[in-house]
Structure 1
Amino acid sequence: MKRLTIAAVVLAMIATPTLAQGRRGGGGGDDKKTDTKPKVDDKAYKAALERIPEPKEKYDPWGVTKPAADPAKKPK
């Protein structure tokens, strides 16, 4: 009886993930597709991009890792 119980538990543990992966479809059967994304306003987007100020000097992401360059010695 103990072997039968253990075998049933092992089979249930193996079958559970298989059943979860085998289900297709979805819940409810709603065929209607609703557009939940907000509409993009191109004029407002372009206006927001124009309000971003241009940097005065170019950003160097590796600037903290390399030593400061000596202005007298410029590489060719």
Structure 2
Amino acid sequence: MKAFMVAAAILTLVAMPAYAQMGGKRHQSDDKKTDAQKPKVDEKAYKAALERIPDPKEKYDPWGVARPADPAKKPKQNP
């Protein structure tokens, strides 16, 4: 009987993480409420907002901080 109780306890401990990952059915009703509260995306307004973004005057250089834009050119000196 003791071996049966130990086996049942081990089986329960092994099954608990798998049950926790499944999420359960009780939380699905909450998802429906959040979907209704999300604002609808208007494609025309989105495209109009993208058109209002001004074009950059100069090209963006992501490495501009790491290296100078105009490196000083020094001629090599022969020893």
Distance in 2 between residues matched to 1:57 and 1:16, nearest whole Å: 61
Counterpart position of 2:45: 44
TM superposition shift of 1:17 = 4.8
Distance in 1 between residues matched to 2:45 and 2:72, nearest whole Å: 44
Q: Tell whether 2:54 aligns with 1:53.
A: yes
Query: Percent of aligned pairs with the same residue?
Result: 52
Q: What's the C-alpha RMSD, in Å, of the aligned pairs?
A: 3.9
Q: Structure 1: which 4+ aligned runs deviate by more than 3 Å? A: 11-14, 22-25, 70-73
Q: Which runs of 5+ in 2 are unaligned?
A: 75-79
TM superposition shift of 1:66 = 1.1
Corresponding pairs, count = 64
Return the TM-score normalized by structure 1: 0.52
More helix by share: 2
Distance in 2 between residues matched to 1:66 and 1:28, nearest whole Å: 52
Return the TM-score normalized by structure 2: 0.50
